[in-house]
Amino acid sequence: MKTKSRYSNKKILVLGLAKSGFAVAKLLKDMGSTVTVVDSNPLEKNTEAKELIADGFKVITGSNDASLIDDSYDYLVKNPGIFYSNDLVQQAEKLNIPVITEPEIAYSYSDATMVGVTGTNGKTTVTTLIQLMLKHSPEFKNSYYAGNIGIPISDVIRKATKDDVVVTELSSFQLQGTIDLHPHVAVLNNIYSTHLDFHKTRANYIKAKMHITKNQTADDYFIVNWNTAEWRDLAKQSNATIIPFSDNQELKKGAYVKDGVLYCNDKKVMDAKDIQIPGEHNVQNALAAISVAKLYDVSDEDIIEVLSSFRGVKHRIQYVDTFGGHKFYNDSKATNVEATIVALTAFKTPITLIAGGLDRGNGFDELIPSLKGKVKNLVVYGQTADKVIESAEKADVGNIVKVDNLTEAVPEAYKQSDPEDVILLSPAAASWDQFHTFEERGDQFIEEVETLKGEVNK
């Protein structure tokens, strides 16, 4: 750890607890800062708040009123999911108090090598693959993953040393609140239009994503998906050394796929068919991970070992179980249309799709080409149910059933499907209408599948 950062010995308000707020509050205290924690959840069921109070923190619960901050504070550390329209955040900005997020604090205090991964889809898979590959690198003693993957960076840097590497998944919400964040290697996996309720415009969303490379220099590396002209143009904003990867073109430098073979810098690495996780999108994810691994001298043998044994990340087209001939997959992380399109293209067999969730104002007609001829049955629930039905009817999906919730959706999907079908939870929407997180939604899906299995096997 670094002995000092710009956030040491300051007066700081942490807004919002959960995992990252809890972890960064403790880190800031270790850095000598005076910390006040504000969380809108009442104290009665707020275990993180109770623990911080027991540790001597000043914690205010049940409110996030603007009056809780004044110009004596040096910084506000905001939970990434809290909107900038929040009254307390707005008041901080009026007082010219910088509003930052947890990765900024963690980076400032860590002297480990940082690899940062962002993109609309595939971030968690790429982050995990890179970390598994870098375990075999001769350049690092240990490799860790952290960030939006569900593990606060502030926790990981407590054990990571200058001889280690921390592979960090970074969302647009996290990146928007960064100032000095400077990964040695940054990965841009892709960019589609999502989270526009938070960022308001696609331009703002892209700007937040590009914070991952804004502090990079020619001594750093920016690994970019080269599949579209837009993403290639974004690379021009970076001062880092650009390393492209693509699954739709051959490249003189970087990683690509040709005739079913993955190459890096024109040298064969492995056959695409040996990648364990299903779907063409996972070829792209593998190319991104290989691009990083090769920077750190990971052997082809070790790369092949990882890609031929890795079975996927929980909630990302995660295989759950097979019974009655039906295969169940949990893709709760598909919080946008693009992610569901990716999931639908991953399977060759007929699909019974479970979809629906929070209504963010968008439509679902982009799903139509992927629904046509692929989705035999559709079970929908949640705020977006009627919108999804409207698009599915345009795609000539023959059998559509609307239910109230996920508990009803799982047995209904089984009832409507045939043996050898895939039953896929891929909501194409955020979870916040009925769940706190996409993880909670995915966990309930798994529980409902287990319950159904017990009933079927009676």
Nearby residues of 19 by Cβ (< 8 Å), 6 or more positions away: 150, 151, 152
Residue 121, annotated ligand binder? yes
Domain that holds residue 410: 318-456
Same domain flag for 116 and 142: yes
∠ CA 302-303-307, nearest 5°, is 120
Same domain flag for 297 and 333: no
Residue 1 lies in a domain: no
Same domain flag for 155 and 288: yes
Residue 209, annotated ligand binder? no
The CATH number given to whatever domain includes residue 42 is 3.40.50.720
Same domain flag for 190 and 292: yes
Single out the residue in 100, 119, 134 at which a domain terminates: 100
E strand or H helix that includes residue 264 = strand 261-264
∠ CA 329-331-337, nearest 5°, is 130
Residue 3, annotated ligand binder? no
Same domain flag for 285 and 387: no
pLDDT value of position 81: 87
Residue 25 lies in a domain: yes
Single out the residue in 69, 100, 131 at which a domain terminates: 100
The CATH number given to whatever domain includes residue 123 is 3.40.1190.10
Same domain flag for 324 and 441: yes
Same domain flag for 219 and 254: yes
**Domain total of the chain:** 3
Same domain flag for 59 and 140: no
Residue 406 lies in a domain: yes
Residue 213, annotated ligand binder? no
Residue 155 lies in a domain: yes
* CA distances, 346 to each of 12, 80, 317, 343, 354 (Å): 46, 30, 9, 5, 16
Residue 268, annotated ligand binder? no
pLDDT value of position 294: 98
Q: Tokens at residue 389, please?
A: 């039905």
Q: Which residues of the chain carry a pLDDT beneath 70?
A: 1-3
pLDDT value of position 2: 67
Same domain flag for 286 and 172: yes
Same domain flag for 109 and 128: yes
Residue 215, annotated ligand binder? no
- CB distance 205 to 196 below 8 Å: yes
Distance in angstroms (rounded) separating the CA atoms of residues 269 and 129: 15
Residue 46 lies in a domain: yes
Nearby residues of 46 by Cβ (< 8 Å), 6 or more positions away: 17, 39, 61
Single out the residue in 251, 282, 309 at which a domain terminates: 309
Q: Tokens at residue 318, please?
A: 């995660």
- Among candidate residues 355, 358, 425, the one with its CA nearest the CA of residue 395: 355
Same domain flag for 129 and 242: yes
Residue 190 lies in a domain: yes
Same domain flag for 18 and 61: yes
Percent of the chain with pLDDT over 70: 99
Residue 185 lies in a domain: yes
Residue 3 lies in a domain: no
The CATH number given to whatever domain includes residue 444 is 3.90.190.20
Residue 345, annotated ligand binder? no
Coil, helix or strand at residue 39: strand
pLDDT value of position 112: 96
